[in-house]
């Protein structure tokens, strides 16, 4: 199973919390499309001719691409790669871009799944985040996407926003359930260094994030999604059975992927690569494949740590049989040894050879995984 990620780094304006590589301008768009197509051609063998099951247009804001640009990218993908007969093709879009004409255009391409950056249905939250759209536009975009015939939809919501009461978070979730959408990605607001939000909080011009409020919102999220029949299949992802994101599942289950565009990451089971996080540098270098800024060949302990971290975040859990098979028995022994204190504290539970985080453990997912990492090979 293999996938392709395309990074389209343009945005209308920069959201205060954002630390993705993106630029608040649409200049160089056609040069970027040409560079991405050149990169496809140069790196067409990276995935060893594996069939491509999923393609994900992320950003930035892919919905700023024109019809001509998107169709050129589609043609190139079909030319340079072998696509599965029923690939999942996800396209990220912001509610302020979606309208019947754009949706009709998307429907005429191979795109079959839309991921909408709603974040909140309330204008107060959207204004704190410096999003371009408002709550009414988010609801309208969802309705229009449905009318245009998109039945595979997902939205992003953010909780733990200062000023967002528990009641307002609950109402956000209820509004989401009323839309009938089958997949939700929900993230805690985190203040990354070097973002506008970090600066504004430091200057006292924005209220700081309260971790306790954020944990409460996470608990509300777990109980409300469960009541509605959603499966919590990854720490930030919820879906009705049969509606999991195939692309993200590929990342979590160790599948291989090629990342195209500035700042995109790739992984082929042996090495991980990063493209340069600079638009003009990427466009200049794509002609020579020099846009790959760094290649890291993973050591066995890095691959083990990565597996522990990603698998513990999923509903499939961390499987000692898999570890023993791929890394050796010493690693599966170490897994149970390092999990001991978390099992005793009921932050984890064991079922056969698999370990899972409990709901309370999910609040500390990163810290628990880090405490189980290996510094050197066994």
H/E segment holding residue 93: strand 83-93
- Does 369 interact with ligand SF4 (rule: CB under 6 A)? no
Q: CB of residue 112 vs ligand SF4: minimum separation in angstroms?
A: 22
Report the residue count for the chain: 378
- Does 279 interact with ligand SF4 (rule: CB under 6 A)? no
316-345 residues near ligand SF4, rule: CB under 6 A: none
Q: CB of residue 101 vs ligand SF4: minimum separation in angstroms?
A: 21
- Does 154 interact with ligand SF4 (rule: CB under 6 A)? no
Q: CB of residue 327 vs ligand SF4: minimum separation in angstroms?
A: 36
- Does 115 interact with ligand SF4 (rule: CB under 6 A)? no
Binding residue for ligand SF4, selected from 1, 14, 219, 302, defined by CB under 6 A: 14
- Closer Cβ to ligand SF4, 4 or 8, answer by number: 8
> CA 86 → CA 52, 54, 110, 332, distances in Å?
10, 9, 10, 36
Binding segment (CB under 6 A) for ligand SF4, from list 55-63, 147-155, 180-188, 230-238: 55-63
Q: CB of residue 181 vs ligand SF4: minimum separation in angstroms?
A: 19
Binding residue for ligand SF4, selected from 8, 18, 98, 148, defined by CB under 6 A: 18
- Does 20 interact with ligand SF4 (rule: CB under 6 A)? yes
Q: CB of residue 131 vs ligand SF4: minimum separation in angstroms?
A: 7
Beta pairing partners, 2: 52, 256
Binding segment (CB under 6 A) for ligand SF4, from list 54-62, 69-77, 136-144, 336-344: 54-62
Binding residue for ligand SF4, selected from 47, 53, 57, 60, defined by CB under 6 A: 60
- Closer Cβ to ligand SF4, 50 or 137, answer by number: 137
125 is written with which tokens? 């939250």
Binding residue for ligand SF4, selected from 8, 11, 77, 221, defined by CB under 6 A: 11
CA-closest candidate to residue 33, choices 67, 84, 81, 80: 67
- Does 153 interact with ligand SF4 (rule: CB under 6 A)? no
Strands 318-319 vs 348-351: parallel, antiparallel or unpaired: unpaired
102 is written with which tokens? 């754009």
> Count of residues binding ligand SF4 (CB under 6 A)?
11
- Closer Cβ to ligand SF4, 184 or 318, answer by number: 184
- Does 95 interact with ligand SF4 (rule: CB under 6 A)? no
- Closer Cβ to ligand SF4, 115 or 266, answer by number: 115
| DSSP-based helix, strand, coil % in the chain, nearest 5 | 45, 20, 35
137 is written with which tokens? 């536009």
- Closer Cβ to ligand SF4, 52 or 126, answer by number: 126
Contact 260, 34 (CB under 8 A): no
Q: CB of residue 236 vs ligand SF4: minimum separation in angstroms?
A: 15
What angle in degrees, to the nearest 10, is found between the helix axes of 320-327 and 329-344?
A: 150
Backbone φ and ψ for 291, nearest 5 degrees, come out as: -65, -15
What single DSSP character describes residue 157? E
CA distance 363 to 216: 10
Report which residue's Cβ sits closest to ligand SF4. Answer: 18
Helices (H) and strands (E) in the chain, counts: 15, 15
Collapsing DSSP states into helix, strand and coil, what is residue 253?
A: coil
CA atoms within 13 A on the CB side of 290: 7
- Does 59 interact with ligand SF4 (rule: CB under 6 A)? yes
369 Cβ contact partners less than 8 Å away, ≥ 6 residues apart: 305, 308, 309, 312, 313
Residues at the contact surface with ligand SF4, assessed by CB under 6 A: 11, 14-15, 18, 20, 22, 59-61, 94, 117
């Amino acid at each position: 199973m293999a996938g392709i990620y395309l990074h389209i780094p343009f945005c209308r304006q920069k959201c205060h919390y954002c630390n993705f590589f993106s630029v608040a301008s649409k200049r160089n768009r056609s040069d970027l499309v040409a560079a991405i197509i050149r990169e496809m051609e140069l790196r067409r063998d990276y995935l060893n001719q594996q069939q491509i099951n999923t393609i994900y247009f992320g950003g930035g804001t892919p919905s700023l691409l024109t019809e001509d640009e998107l169709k050129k990218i589609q043609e190139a993908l079909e030319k340079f790669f072998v696509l599965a007969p029923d690939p999942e093709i996800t396209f990220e879009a912001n509610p302020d871009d979606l309208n019947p004409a754009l949706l009709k255009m998307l429907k005429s391409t191979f795109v079959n799944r839309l991921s909408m950056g709603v974040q909140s249905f309330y204008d107060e939250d959207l204004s704190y985040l410096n999003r371009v759209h408002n709550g009414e536009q988010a609801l309208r975009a969802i309705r229009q996407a449905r009318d245009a015939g998109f039945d595979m939809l997902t939205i992003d919501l953010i909780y733990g926003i200062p000023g967002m009461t528990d009641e307002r978070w609950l109402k956000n979730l209820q509004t989401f359930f009323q839309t009938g959408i089958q997949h939700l990605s929900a993230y805690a607001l985190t203040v990354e260094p070097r973002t506008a939000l970090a600066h504004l909080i430091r200057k006292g011009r924005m209220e700081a994030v309260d971790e306790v409020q954020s944990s409460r919102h996470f608990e509300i999220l777990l109980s409300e999604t469960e009541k509605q029949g959603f499966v919590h299949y990854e720490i930030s992802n919820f879906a009705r059975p049969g509606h999991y994101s195939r692309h993200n599942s590929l990342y979590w289950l160790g599948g291989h992927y090629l990342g195209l565009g500035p700042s995109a990451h790739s992984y082929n089971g042996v090495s991980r690569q990063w493209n340069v996080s600079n638009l003009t540098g990427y466009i200049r270098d794509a002609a020579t494949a020099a846009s790959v800024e760094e290649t890291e060949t993973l050591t066995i302990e890095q691959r083990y740590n990565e597996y522990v971290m990603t698998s513990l975040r999923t509903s499939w859990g961390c499987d000692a049989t898999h570890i023993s098979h791929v890394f050796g028995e010493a690693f599966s022994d170490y897994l149970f040894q390092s999990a001991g204190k978390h099992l005793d504290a009921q932050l984890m539970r064991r079922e056969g050879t698999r370990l899972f985080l409990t709901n309370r453990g999910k609040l500390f997912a990163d810290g628990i995984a880090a405490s189980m990492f290996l510094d050197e090979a066994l």
